[in-house]
Amino acid sequence: MRRFAPAHGATNDAPVDTQTRIDDDPYAWLEDVDGERALEWVRARNAEAMDRLGGAPGFDAIRREVLEVLDSDAKIPLVSRAGDRLYNFWRDGDHERGLWRRTTLEQYRTDDPEWETLLDLDALSAAEGESWVWHGAQVLRPDCRRALVSLSRGGSDADVTRELDLDTLTWVEDGFVRPEAKGGLGWVDADTVFAYTDLGPGTMTSSGYPRTVRRWTRGTPLADAPLVFEGEPDDLYISAHHDRTPGFERDLVVRAIAFYRQQVFLLAGDGALTLLDVPESAEVSVHREWLLVELREEWQAGGAVHPAGALLAAPLDDYLAGSRALEVLFRPTPSTSLAGLTWTRSHLVLTVLDDVRHEVRVLTPGADGTDGWATSDLPGAPELTTVSVAGVDPDESEDLWMTTSGYLTPTTLSLVTVGTPNAAPEPLKAMPAFFDASRHTVEQHMATSDDGTRVPYFLVRPTDLALDGTAPTLLYGYGGFEISLTPSYSGGLGRGWVARGGVYVVANIRGGGEYGPRWHQLALTENRHRAYEDFAAVARDLVARGVTRPERLGVQGGSNGGLLTGNMLVGYPDLIGAAVIQVPLLDMRRYSHLLAGASWMAEYGDPDDPTQWRFIRTFSPYHLVDAERPYPPALLTTSTRDDRVHPGHARKMTALLRELGKDVTYYENVEGGHGGAATNAQAAHMTALAYTFLWQRLAGDVPTSAESGAGAGVEGDGTAA
């Protein structure tokens, strides 16, 4: 039975305007992100959190062990290729903000590659008095002498773009510079970029993202750049991209109307736009002569009915000429879904989930485009691991990067040449184990939700676990936006939780993408409660199996996962012993008016519509708190610089719980954006807070130091969220 009820005495059908939504909220002042009163409250809560957790036995050990993972030089330097160089962004103990650097494939194959540093963010931050956080770079092909570099102050989504000369390693004097905003620049040629960014009133959507695309020529003011496309005020995001594939150069404009709805246009040299006539809910991509359409909804075309989750292909020119002869490249089954796709020059490589287990398929079109597609398998990975593939250079190469990773299996990066008979993956880098996993095992189980749906979950446990209900257990979930949770190696999780004897569980609940768009759509808007029922079903199944009991079961989730764990706290308090709620949505009455919240109404609904507010309020934790009901201890964390999910959600929920005398701990990092941390040290600190809190509340204290392995984790590894 669902454990949700309306908030105290409020009527469901009352009209709601923005001002009323603020005036009837006693903690609305905490939405003032940088207001002195709000920040004084934050500093007081942070001090309390550090008193409770920072001084606890074991906190420093966890923080130190996780930081060793993050700062270790044994991490795999993940790379991308441009021209004949491999590019990597790297952070370690000597480079807190990080280095952007490059090397050759020959050097990369060695145990100690020689790297050329292109940009030192620590030096740049010191010189400019800023806390720069890396947001990526675009190298201009084919000569690879210029790059557009994006940098964020403190980790916020809003960032700046600058042009870097890769020969002199200096900022280009007359270069492209985009002021701080949400958006970006994209190369068209050496003297032209597409610009989609904030240019003043009317140029941003109601969600706070770009509404226009302009073609900006070097040496001219950005404000005078000719308009390419303008979306509607309530659209989500407008952007453009130049495809530089030799012989197939083209420009594309993408109008994201909402999550799961978009239009893609081909842009001609005279500015004319040709809409690709496919369902707005579909994902569309082009490669050389091919058009790919990945369906989220059933579609009738070419005399056939294609199911949601299918992948279709057609020659682009034929399609534009009116043909609807579509080749079905993937058709889902009740247990399978398309997890991803990538191209080499002449092969399409699919990753498929079958009951959340990975397999990789190689599809090769016939020589003249009319002979169908041949299918073969790519060598897989060990059981219950994740396989990820990406084309090294789809314009020129048949090579793939292939990574494999599992909860107890350190990540390996290999190079695979597709289409070569009997070609085996060439291991390039292997991450050494960072904790002793020899005494642990990974299993997959199924729980049964309230409506009879089978819900898979992964269980990581000691091999000799006594099924007597005493094991401290951490249950992690997300359940939204068609995002799948699959196995991955985390040295921080391993050291902070698993190697200390904790059981770790990942639930593949509805709202995610584990079974394709169908699995996601089953938990949208008025059906949101299904995701929470699924998570509760996994919790009950763990108890029924004797793995744990409610007082020893903790839950953790961030962002939409924070909404999940917030609902577990207020809706299912009898099932859990502690909740970690990170960068969360919690006030679902106000969410669409805060930062990027308006962009998520396709997921949750519109709270300004009284009919929709009737069901939204049933999963708005801030409005479901009951003064008379006991709740398990909760830790809420967020970032002052999170400009995606407003920190006011976590602040207000904490203030309400505090006023009612509930056991709540709060910590707000001053940097980090929606990721919660801007440096390895901050990430280790936030991870240590979470695991110390969980050990205290589920087991009484933090176990002694974990047994460590020989090396470190993947770069960026260290948190479970």
Catalytic residue numbers read: 559, 674
Q: What span, in angstroms and rounded, lies between the C-alpha atoms of 134 and 642?
A: 15
- Find how far residue 374's CA is from the centre of its chain: 33
Q: How many separate helices (H) and strands (E) can be counted in the chain?
A: 15, 39
Three-state DSSP at 314 gives strand
Sign of the alpha-carbon dihedral angle for 686, 404, 407, 721: positive
Kind of pairing between the strands at 146-153 and 227-230? unpaired
Contact 105, 82 (CB under 8 A): no
Sign of the alpha-carbon dihedral angle for 102, 107, 111, 116: negative
Closest residue by Cα to residue 208 from 232, 236, 187, 184 = 236
**C-beta atoms surrounding 303 within 10 Å:** 8
User: What does the CA dihedral 133, 673, 211, 298 come to, rounded to 10 degrees?
Assistant: 110
H/E stretch holding 107 reads helix 105-108
Q: Name the amino acid, one letter, at 678.
A: A
Contact 411, 396 (CB under 8 A): no
- Find how far residue 464's CA is from the centre of its chain: 34
Q: What span, in angstroms and rounded, lies between the C-alpha atoms of 524 and 507?
A: 18
Distances (CA, A) of 399 to 81, 93, 103, 391, 701: 11, 33, 18, 6, 49
DSSP string covering 349-371, please? EEEEEESS-EEEEEEEE-TTS-S
- Answer left, alpha or beta for residue 453, where phi above 0 means left and psi between -120 and 50 means alpha: beta
Closest residue by Cα to residue 407 from 428, 386, 432, 389 = 386
Q: Which tokens in the block code for residue 502?
A: 């904790």
My answer on whether omega of the bond before 421 falls inside 30° of 0, hence cis, is no
Q: What span, in angstroms and rounded, lies between the C-alpha atoms of 113 and 237?
A: 40
What does the DSSP 8-state code read for residue 486?
A: -
Kind of pairing between the strands at 327-330 and 311-315? antiparallel
Closest residue by Cα to residue 587 from 553, 638, 543 = 638
**C-beta atoms surrounding 263 within 10 Å:** 18
Closest residue by Cα to residue 521 from 321, 314, 260 = 260
Q: Name the amino acid, one letter, at 79.
A: V
Contact 476, 505 (CB under 8 A): yes
Q: What span, in angstroms and rounded, lies between the C-alpha atoms of 497 and 434?
A: 13
Contact 502, 696 (CB under 8 A): no
Q: What span, in angstroms and rounded, lies between the C-alpha atoms of 639 and 629?
A: 29
